[in-house]
Chain A
Amino acid sequence: DQQVKQNSPSLSVQEGRISILNCDYTNSMFDYFLWYKKYPAEGPTFLISISSIKDKNEDGRFTVFLNKSAKHLSLHIVPSQPGDSAVYFCAPSSTQGGSEKLVFGKGTKLTVNP
């Protein structure tokens, strides 16, 4: 039972263009959504987050959009740079009820070509 789905295992874009990474979830209790970036042989690093009370959060080149009715979020990277090449994980959580269980998607490998 996959609560979090990142349906594109990989994505390839040209430098300077937009990268759009998608994530779908099923659990309506999720109210805080994070994106992590992971380079090979390193641990994931936090990229950007959004609370369920918002529908958009922007941080420099990175913007996350949340559509609660569709249970869908997306990460936009504009403009994409070769250094953005990494695996991106969507990770929703529920901040209520004392659960400490962050659920990770399987990840999308982004390749930005020079």
Chain B
Amino acid sequence: NAGVTQTPKFRILKIGQSMTLQCAQDMNHNYMYWYRQDPGMGLKLIYYSVGAGITDKGEVPNGYNVSRSTTEDFPLRLELAAPSQTSVYFCASSYSGMDSPLHFGNGTRLTVT
């Protein structure tokens, strides 16, 4: 039981490049989330999903896109990378939404130069 797996662990992008951050969970959780954490700050919600085929915006969605074609996977897409997207990205899942704890992956550290 691996929990929540994120790939890659690290990535450096040039301004304007695109990439997809991968997230997979093996706990059969319906709820999945993407957060970013900037230095000295709390985690901010980018997008979330309450089940396959259903996604919604969080607090800071601009510059990102998501899809949820299966229960297990919730990739995050950056289309035109900007320096402001330099951050650590965490994917999380939960059994029943806001009344249950989140299980986090170990994060992807992204630098845009």
Contacts and interface: CB of A to CB of B under 8 A. Distances in A.
B103 interface: yes
Nearest to A102: B98
Interface residues of B, number: 27
B98 A104 contact: no
A100 B54 CA distance: 13
A61 to B, nearest CB: 18
B50 interface: yes
Interface in B74-104: 90, 92, 97-99, 101-104
Contacts of B99: 32, 93, 95
24 contacts: A32-B98, A34-B101, A41-B107, A42-B106, A42-B107, A43-B4, A43-B104, A43-B105, A44-B102, A49-B101, A89-B43, A95-B97, A95-B98, A100-B48, A100-B50, A100-B97, A101-B58, A102-B33, A102-B102, A104-B44, A105-B42, A106-B40, A106-B41, A106-B42
Interface of B: 4, 31, 33, 35, 40-45, 48, 50, 56, 58-59, 90, 92, 97-99, 101-107
